[in-house]
Structure 1
């Protein structure tokens, strides 16, 4: 191993100095020429039907360049995996969790974008929320997605080894219900996205993420 200069050797992190000195650049620090600021209008309800969205006041606010709703995305759905493509970029008919996206604003600065969000009027019909997964799977009426009976998105069969045979050999078998706290991954920086089209009309995107190829798929 002594003949190698990199393999098996301790290597310094290339960004350590910038981070310990507070000079590291994160996505939210990027400032591009002519950059607009985008903000998302989010649902205050865990489960509700969208009756109407009025964006006229937000569109009339000076400094606002664009206001979009689910009508603009035409209900296009996406998902990390093919069998879970049930997510709309902006909701068209229902919101399914507190914070679900209902509209977007692009403005000349953050203050204007936030003012525009307050001017967007959304009428909701609040629906009964479902917070317990076992209750959700037993329900035929409180469906989060109407196309998925019992609120089950997909059935995945995992068949590895002979389960019955190994149960017979097991010294002790315990059955229980296990509950894990909510977890969030990749919390290294505030969530922000910066995007632009370069001189060759290619879309460049900066964002904190753990799967760049999964991010590029829906964008393409």
Structure 2
């Protein structure tokens, strides 16, 4: 995927990792970067084009896909945390996490896949997590949503291969964003991870393991299930 001259849609582009991705897309020569957010007023970079967009509202996504016929790169970055345990936590909170982190990207891909196809294939980037593979009772709902999104990413890659769409899954541990502000652990610079993502995209990669933690946890997949819990 060539970033220079592309038209990109980035969900959740008003802060954190999404903002880092959108900024670097502009700096690498993207023609247009649509910042897809619930409140366009929160997009303060005048190099971005704010789009009112809610990944949990299918009509919102459908309307955007109909309007943005030039998009050839979609980055599914928007997500939420919380909800805790799937067994003892708030089950409705768990549903909300799945709606945003799994069904949200699924809806975006469904609606924008035809747009990408008409524009030569383009690419989809799904921002996943080391928690696609690692889990704990304290964040079971979030981990389940990311595991489901990983499976979605692999399914979409197979289904969209025929139209020439690159699908890149990004796995990363802790980044210094609002989502994990309360966690006391070493955190990666979102800008540095964004650079890795766009480099991987331009190289044609299907998967990026952005840090040592993600590489180490993925290596455990051939071992016992107990190696994938904390």
Highest RCO, 1 vs 2 (Cα 8 Å, sep ≥ 6): 1
TM value normalised by structure 1: 0.22
- Max Rg structure: 1
TM value normalised by structure 2: 0.22
The structure carrying a bigger helix percent of its residues is: 2
